[in-house]
Amino acid sequence: MSKPFVDSNVILNLLSGDTAKADRAQDIVAAGAVISVQVLNEVTSVCHRKLKLPWPETEALLMAVKAACEVVPLTLTSHEKAITLAKRFNLSFYDAHIVACAVLSGAQRLLTEDLQDGLKVETLLIHNPFKL
């Protein structure tokens, strides 16, 4: 089975005060996952702007995530696929770009809290890993 593709909200739950969510996120990352550069960008932005983490803490999180996860690039192909998916599934462009990268990476599952649990996009199944 292929590694799941993981959205930024799963990565950010590593910092959650909700220990059940933080532990679940840790288990997901430790088991091996795929992320895109966009996920790294979103995590960086939230850590710096919303959470007001100092740069050394943000960089430490990013280093740990990059060490644990396979990182796929944003490309012209992923951009074009994102536009197609945004139109077809009525997704925001940024969510569609995450989905596009997941599809293009060959992942079978996208773990996220931001999209409809159970939604099927081509060969990709959207799953909320925190849903009980």
| Residue 37 reports pLDDT greater than 90 | yes
pTM: 0.95
pLDDT in tens, 71-119: 999 999 999 999 999 999 999 999 999 999 999 999 999 999 999 999 9
Is 53 part of any domain? Answer: yes
Instruction: Considering only residues 5 and 1, tell me which one the structure prediction assigns the higher pLDDT.
Output: 5
Range of the domain at 53: 5-127
| CATH number of the domain residue 24 falls in | 3.40.50.1010
Name the domain count of the chain.
1
| Residue 1 reports pLDDT greater than 80 | no
Is 55 part of any domain? Answer: yes
pLDDT at 42: 97
Q: How far apart are CA 58 and CA 71, in angstroms?
A: 17
Is 106 part of any domain? Answer: yes
Is 132 part of any domain? Answer: no
Is 28 part of any domain? Answer: yes
pLDDT, average across residues 51-68: 97
Is 113 part of any domain? Answer: yes
